Structures are given as C-alpha cells and as structure tokens.
Amino acid sequence: MKSDIEIAQEAKMKPIADIAAGLGLADEDVIPYGRYKAKINHRLIHKASKQGKLILVTAISPTPAGEGKTTTSVGLADAMNAIGKKTMLCLREPSLGPVFGIKGGAAGGGWAQVVPMEDINLHFTGDFHAIGAANNLLAAMLDNHIQQGNALGIDPRRITWKRCVDMNDRQLRSIVDGLGGKVNGTPREDGFDITVASEIMAVLCLATSITDLKERLARMIVGYTYGDEPVTCGQLHAQGAMTALLKDAIKPNLVQTLEGTPAFVHGGPFANIAHGCNSVIATKMALKMGDYTVTEAGFGADLGAEKFLDIKCRAAGLAPSAVVVVATVRALKMHGGLPKKELAQEDLGALDRGIPNLLRHVKNIKQVYHLPCVVAVNRFPTDTDAEIDFIIKKCRELGVNTVLSTVWAEGGKGGEALAHEVVRLCEQDSSAFSYSYPLEGSIDDKITAIVQRIYGGDGISVLPAARKQIDRLTALGFGDLPVCMAKTQYSFSDDAAKLGAPEHFTVTIRNVKVSAGAGFIVALTGDIMTMPGLPKVPAAERIDVDENGVITEVYCEYDANTRSGMPDANRKVKGTLHWVSCNHCLQAEVRLYDRLWKVENPRDELAAIREAKNCEALEAMKEIINPDSLKVLPNCYIEKFAATLPTLSYLQFQRIGYFNIDKESSPEKLIFNRTVGLKDTWGKINK
C-alpha cells in the first residue's frame, strides 16, 4: 500500500473549473487559486432555494489507535455519488502540518482523501493567516489605545483578548510584553492562543454574510475598564479593518476528493478547545448544491457532535437527517485497557470493557438528540469476525445498525454499504431532533446538563474564580447563550486517563469566559490549554522537501515501552534508521567484523588443536570458527565529513557498533572496520 502522500501526489485531479461547472456555478462566482482550488462567492447561500439532506459524521472518543472520522467522511461522500446520489462534502481546514504537534487526518487517508492534500495541510488559500492577522490587529489596536492615553479607561490587568498564532508553542502561553520603556508600550501580562481556538475563527465559521461578520466582530469583548465595564472591539473601531482582512477568508474553499466529489474545506476550530465545526456558509452552500451533504465535527461525539448540534445547528437553523458514529475495534480495545502493542490480538474481554464508550455516544445521538444513527466500523486486517459480531450485537440492542467500512483501502467502493444505510436513515423522520439543554436555563444548568446527559457524569464543581465569572457574565446579560465546553478529547470526563465510559465523576470548571461575537459561553475544564505544546517528536521532524519542491514524509514511531522511554522497561530499542541526504553523502565500504569464534572461550579448544598437530585437529578448528565473522557491505552511504577525518580515526555508528577508518580508506573510497559490535555479552546470553 502506498503512503497517503504518494497516493495524493499521483492523483489525476480535474481542473477546479470543471468541478465548479459540474455544480452549475457561473464563472463570476468562482475565484481560482491555481488549477485545483478555488473560492466561491459566499452570497450564493442567499440565492438558491434548494435544501439537501445533512449527514453528520462523528466518532467515539479518540485514541492513539485511530478512528478514521475524516477518512470515513470522504469515503462516504464518494460512495454516495457512486450509488447515484448527488452528494457534497464539507470538512474543516487543518492547522499547518509542519508546525502542528501531532498531525491528524485533516484530508483523510488512503484512497479516501481530499486533494490537493499538501496544499490543504499547508497555507491553502490563506484563511488562517487572515484570521491571525485580524486577531493580532485588534490586539495591537487595544494596546495602542492604552499607549495613546487610554480614553476608555481599560484596566491592563483585566484584558481578556489574546494574540494568536497557528502553531503549537507552549512558550507563548503566558508572557510579559511592553518592556523596554514608555516608547515600547505598557508592560503587562499577555499570552497567545492557537489560531483555531481564537474567537475570530468561531466568528468566521458562524457568520452568514460580510455584514453579519462585521457585526459579530464589533460585539467581541476584549477586556474591562477600571469601572468593571466590558470593552468591545467596536469601541476600538477595529471591526472595519478586521473585516477587510477577512473579506476573502469568509468565502468557502472548493476542492475535490480523489474520485472527483466536490468538497468545501472551510473553517477549522478544534472541538476540544473551540466549537469544532466547519463554516455555516460552507454547509449551507453545500446543501443548496447537492441532494446530500456529508460533514464532520471534531473529535468524539461528546465534543464535536454536541457542539455541532447544540451550537451550530441552533445558530444556523440546521438539522441533520442522519448521524454516522465511526469506531474501530482497535480503539475500543484500547478503551478496554489493552496496550497498543497488543491490539492485533483478538481480545473479546478488552472489547467488552471498551465498547461502553461507543454505546454511550450512540445512546446520546438516539436518546438525547433523537436522530437516526448508524455505526461505521473502520475495519483493520487484524479485526476478527468474532470481534465484529460482538459490536454488531451490542449496537442492535440499542436499535442501531453496524456497517463495515473499507474506504481507506478501496475508496468509495468500500463505503457503498454505509452509503445505502445512510440513505435509508435519511428517509426516516428526523423532526424529533432536540437539543441537550434549553437556552433559558442558567449557565450552571447548561453546563450540568452537558455533563450529566452527554458525558454521563454526576455534576460539576465550579472553582471560586469561575463562580465570579459566571455571576458577572450573567449580570451582563450573557446567561442565555449556549455553552462551548473546553475539555480533553480522550475521555467523557475531564481526566484524560479515564477511558471507556467512566461513571460517578464530576467535571471541574476552572474558568468561564464569553465569546460575545461567536455567541456562546466558553467553559474551561480540567487542565485543557488553548495553546497546545509540541510533543517529544513533533510532526515537523517527519516532513521534508526535495530539490524539485516535492514534499516527502518520513514515518517513524517512537515506542514508549522501551528502556529509552521507561527506565524499568524490560526491553530496549533494537534498531534505529539513520537517514542520509542523497545529495550530501559519499559511497563507502563497511566491513563488519564480528566474533571470530563460535564458542565463548576457545582457549581450551585451541590448546588441544595445537597439541594434536594433525589434519583432524585442523578440521576441528574450522568447526569453531565463525564463518560470518566478516561481512563486507560495499554500497553504504555516509556523511561527507567522514572523508575529512584521518585514517584510524574512531567513530560510533548508531546501533551498529564502533568503527575505525581503515588505512586503505581514501576520500574516493571510504572504508570502515567494525572493532566492537553493540551486542549483549556472553554473560547476559548465558543468564
């Protein structure tokens, strides 16, 4: 199987003008960004009267084993077109791949991808840059207002507006700026959010027009005065310039799948720290262009689907006709406590312990939101029939069908069974759709409803600082807004370690703030961060580009269950790949000298051979000689610096051994002799 990037690079894409023409779009409504991507006139959502059916794809709580939500969304859209249903696809934009910490499946995978994949994972059409620029313009105007006399009486200690950057960088979470004297501003504590967690991202995704966008920007609260009154973007007169920066970003981005299905990729907030849905404009436009629209919401159904249904659908007047919950056997076994390295083994016990996670998500869709639902099992080759049958049986008990999906390996063909089930569900009555809480309740009531009805917890614990914030926001008239929960994606609770379907827990609310422009309250739980940090091995380490500008990826996986990761582990890493640039290397011969004798201590055998002095003794000596004591590797490659070293210099080749440079070595032909191999001692072997 080829890698995702190889499949994407070899794809034969249609010119984006052809994709647009197939949707009946006029030339003046299509703004090309190269041959294979374009922006579409956002005003079209107000012109057409057609309304297709909306299909939401969500998933179980994510694990390191993977679920394949975006891949399933892409494959399902392709499959529905393949069975004769005119279908559009709506996805979120991803953060920049090279600077993001742990790259997800932003463009799908295998034979179910949106393309051009590399562009989508890089700068794309510049939407995120525009959002960052607008955000930081407001920050600059805010600080400049204080510098120029502070006519509004803004308290520098109570500024809530943060700067943002599209990058995981924990170093920027909490900073002090304005240092260096009066000319450099007013010193104050400050910080950054990642762009996708910014309020402007939410505003862009929920706005329905340029005018609506500008009005939402004007309502955003940036801080408070010395008199405890809120200060808005409109009071700083920044909304006009910010809208100018965002006038193109508000237009949906049109691309295509590998099979030519039209796809809008627009807006990209994270569902663990933001509302996690693509733009309202893109979704509504897709619904007017196709009979069906497949869209996704971020992370598990407790986050992305909850916010899609309780925030986006409520604000935009949308209602899904069907919901797909994606799961994998592997991930469910991880929820059941099985280590990642053992997932290939059949384990019905672990599956039984983990499947409550899936069942709770399904139950929420069916019994809380009253929507038709199907479970899509993204099948892996190691999944057994017994494990699949177990999932099917458990889901049927809730009145939900389970369909196997193989879109990663087969594209749309592998999703046709799922497509038929989705079409069947779309014909059912979905008018009973309801939200998980009413807007009329208090902020506490709404948060508690989410925790109890969606998460399965007992209730909430509000810290004193959060209590003051709730009381203040209620007094300011924001108590009737929906709530956006910022919570770990790995668990129903606010503790990432509580996998499966935990019970009898409380969720700690440590901070509450208002996104007045977006139109919701944000409740931060546990230790969730709106500026993530990079992991030990950032995604950037696995990305490279050759001299022709072709992007390549090197896939390496760190095994934490080794001595390098855990001092008490029973095993160590047995091999490491060392990559050498083909443009900056020299060919070398490597001589691997190993132990000459097969026996641990040949002294006794050699003494007997010397004493015998006959042919039989010579043959006996041959028996204890290691025939593989010397292996010559004639076509190895090494960094050029080695040619500058004097002969008999000593080097260590990682995980192979210690080498010296042979006296016959030359810059034209480098020769290295292994002097010591990195092998366990005879004593360890005997033990």
Q: Would you name the residues annotated as active-site residues?
A: 69, 71, 92, 103, 271, 299, 380, 408
- How crowded is residue 426: how many other Cβ atoms within 10 Å of its Cβ? 20
Distance CA 124, CA 263 (A): 14
Distance CA 269, CA 278 (A): 8
3-state secondary structure of 272: coil
Secondary structure of 499-558 in the HEC alphabet?
CCCCCCCEEEEEEEEEECCCCEEEEEECCCCCCCCCCCCCHHHHEEECCCCCEEECCCCC
Contact 408, 70 (CB under 8 A): no
Helix (H) or strand (E) holding 118: helix 117-120
Distance CA 439, CA 437 (A): 7
Distance CA 365, CA 372 (A): 8
Tokens 């990826």 -> residue? 553
Distance CA 325, CA 564 (A): 37
Helix (H) or strand (E) holding 284: helix 280-289
Tell me whether residue 106 is exposed, middle or buried, using C-beta atoms within 10 angstroms of its C-beta: 0 to 12, 13 to 18, 19 or more.
buried
Distance CA 465, CA 510 (A): 7
Contact 514, 221 (CB under 8 A): yes
The residue among 106, 81, 111 whose CA lies nearest residue 95 is 106
Secondary structure of 334-363 in the HEC alphabet?
HHCCCCHHHCCCCCHHHHHHHHHHHHHHHH
Radius of gyration for the chain, computed over Cα atoms and rounded to the nearest angstrom: 30
**Residues near 16 by Cβ (< 8 Å), separated by ≥ 6?**
30, 32, 34, 35, 36, 37, 38, 254, 255, 256
**Residues near 235 by Cβ (< 8 Å), separated by ≥ 6?**
152
- How crowded is residue 325: how many other Cβ atoms within 10 Å of its Cβ? 30
CA angle, residues 102, 106, 111, in degrees to nearest 5: 120
Tokens standing for 271? 């569902």
Q: Where are the alpha helices (DSSP H) in 121-187?
A: 127-147
Which segments of 253-368 are extended strands (E)? 253-257, 262-265, 292-296, 322-327
- DSSP letters of 630-685? EEEEEEEEEEGGGGGSPTT-EEEETTTEEEEE-TT-BTTBEEEEEEEE----HHHH
Q: Are strands 154-159 and 373-378 parallel, antiparallel or unpaired?
A: unpaired
- DSSP letters of 87-99? EEEEEPPPPPTTT
Q: What are phi and psi of 606, to 5 degrees?
A: -70, -35
Distance CA 265, CA 258 (A): 14
Distance CA 243, CA 204 (A): 10
**Through-space distance between the first and last CA atoms of the chain, rounded to whole angstroms:** 42
